[in-house]
């Protein structure tokens, strides 16, 4: 554990970065996955003005505005760049559309031949507005607030690229990976390469930490989990560390279950984000002794609010705030979340040092 004990080691001024550097803070820093989004009326206004979701992601002034909206209301310790994990396939030239009420739709890459439809040549050109958003946000942030860049992990991005949309079974992407391991490896290698380049460009533009979202890690059996989740993540972390040793990388392997410990230790991530299924006391004993952890209130408790939310929140804080910890949800904020409940949550976290 890198817990700095030497009194002369100075604490990073941003609490979120201090926690990721291994410091235990009296009041844990917090932010929420999907903290910007449709539960906020001011987001819905900007979203309407932007036209499409992709236009919103690719218009820096508007993307910057919606990045800052939740911070103005709730004063989170970190902002997360407003964008989407599917901007990577967009950068590779795959046709992408967000259909109201149905989520993302892509023209699917069904086999290795279709990889020809993808090209790395215009990747940065197409995504320049994302990097410009990072520049604008870092300029606008309060001194104590950190900026998180992000990408989807290759496996999760491949899920959408091959399946063409969200899915219950993910039969097409798993089928491709099982049927043609070499062809699927070509797609994964391409995604690894562009993910490193994409995160590096966000860091160059001002991102102070990066999170890798592996939302569909949990649908893989153990052997492909190692090959398609742990190994690519390890190589991405290693590549980033060569150029940006000081930038923390946070991994979020949702649904990793019994493989969460292996993921945490073997990928080299600086911190691990816990999904809602991970018992906080288990995480304290098995993970937090190695790395800072982030998580993991059920987003639906934030929809419920009141006592149910407060009780579970305190349980998480009591268990995990004795070590390096960033409070978050175990998955993204739900669209039906009442904004007042986020206010209640923020107030409870802020008053934790007096209530503990």
Options 10-18, 36-44, 202-210, 226-234: segment touching ligand CP3 (CB under 6 A): 36-44
Cα–Cα–Cα angle for 270, 275, 279, rounded to 5 degrees: 95
Residues 213-252 that bind ligand CP3 (CB under 6 A): 213, 215
Residues 66-85 that bind ligand CP3 (CB under 6 A): 80, 82, 84-85
- Which of 12, 25, 38, 318: binder of ligand CP3 (CB under 6 A)? 38
- Which of 14, 23, 47, 172: binder of ligand CP3 (CB under 6 A)? 47
342 is a contact residue toward ligand CP3 (CB under 6 A):
no
Rounded least distance, CB 234 to ligand CP3, Å: 20
166 is a contact residue toward ligand CP3 (CB under 6 A):
yes
35 is a contact residue toward ligand CP3 (CB under 6 A):
yes
CA distance 19 to 352: 16
CA distance 138 to 145: 9
Residues 121-150 that bind ligand CP3 (CB under 6 A): 150
Cα–Cα–Cα angle for 110, 217, 97, rounded to 5 degrees: 45
- Which of 104, 164, 232, 253: binder of ligand CP3 (CB under 6 A)? 104
| Strand runs labelled E in the chain | 78-80, 96-99, 103-106, 146-152, 209-214, 249-253, 271-273, 293-297, 325-329
Q: Which is nearer to ligand CP3, 167 or 193 (CB)?
A: 167
Angle between helices 60-74 and 123-140 (to 10 degrees): 40
Rounded least distance, CB 80 to ligand CP3, Å: 5
User: What CA–CA distances, in Å, run from 165 to 228, 284, 287?
Assistant: 19, 36, 33
Total number of residues binding ligand CP3 (CB under 6 A)? 21
Q: Which is nearer to ligand CP3, 54 or 112 (CB)?
A: 54
253 is a contact residue toward ligand CP3 (CB under 6 A):
no
Residue nearest to ligand CP3 (CB): 215
Q: Among all residues, which ones are annotated catalytic?
A: 34, 38, 47, 84, 160
CA distance 31 to 141: 14
- Which pair of structure tokens corresponds to residue 330? 């175990």
353 is a contact residue toward ligand CP3 (CB under 6 A):
no
Secondary structure, 3-state, 96-164: EEEECCCEEEECCCCCHHHHHHCCCCCHHHHHHHHHHHHHHHHHHCCCCCEEEEEEECHHHHHHHHHHC
Residues that bind ligand CP3 (CB under 6 A): 33-38, 47, 53, 80, 82, 84-86, 98, 103-104, 150, 166, 213, 215, 332
């Amino acid at each position: 554990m890198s817990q700095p004990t030497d009194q002369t080691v100075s604490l990073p001024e941003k609490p979120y970065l201090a926690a990721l550097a291994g410091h235990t803070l009296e009041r844990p820093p917090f932010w929420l996955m999907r903290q910007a989004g449709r539960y906020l009326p001011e987001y819905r206004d900007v979203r309407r003005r932007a036209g499409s979701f992709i236009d919103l992601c690719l218009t820096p002034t508007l993307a910057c505005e919606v990045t800052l909206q939740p911070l103005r209301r709730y004063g989170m310790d970190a902002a997360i760049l407003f964008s989407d994990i599917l901007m990577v396939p967009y950068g590779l030239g795959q046709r992408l559309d967000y259909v109201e009420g149905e989520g993302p739709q892509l023209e699917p890459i069904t086999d290795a031949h279709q990889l020809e439809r993808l090209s790395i040549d215009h990747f940065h050109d197409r995504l320049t507005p994302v990097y410009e958003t990072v520049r604008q946000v870092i300029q606008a942030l309060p001194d104590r607030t950190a900026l998180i860049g992000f990408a989807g992990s290759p496996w999760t991005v491949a899920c959408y690229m091959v399946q063409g949309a969200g899915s219950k079974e993910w039969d097409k992407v798993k089928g491709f990976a099982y049927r043609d391991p070499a062809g699927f490896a070509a797609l994964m290698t391409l995604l690894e390469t562009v993910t490193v380049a994409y995160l590096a460009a966000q860091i160059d533009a001002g991102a102070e930490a990066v999170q890798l979202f592996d939302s569909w890690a949990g649908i893989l059996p153990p052997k492909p989990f190692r090959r398609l989740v742990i190994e690519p993540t390890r190589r991405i972390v290693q590549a980033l560390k060569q150029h940006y040793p000081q930038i923390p990388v946070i991994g979020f392997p949702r649904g990793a279950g019994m493989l969460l410990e292996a993921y945490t230790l073997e990928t080299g991530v600086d911190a691990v984000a816990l999904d809602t299924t991970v018992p906080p006391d288990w995480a304290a004993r098995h993970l937090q002794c190695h790395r800072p952890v982030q998580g993991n209130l059920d987003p639906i408790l934030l929809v419920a609010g009141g006592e149910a939310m407060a009780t579970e929140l305190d349980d998480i804080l009591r268990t995990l705030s004795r070590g390096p910890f960033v409070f978050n949800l175990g998955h993204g904020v739900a669209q039906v979340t009442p904004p007042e409940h986020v206010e209640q949550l923020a107030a409870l976290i802020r008053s934790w040092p007096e209530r503990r």
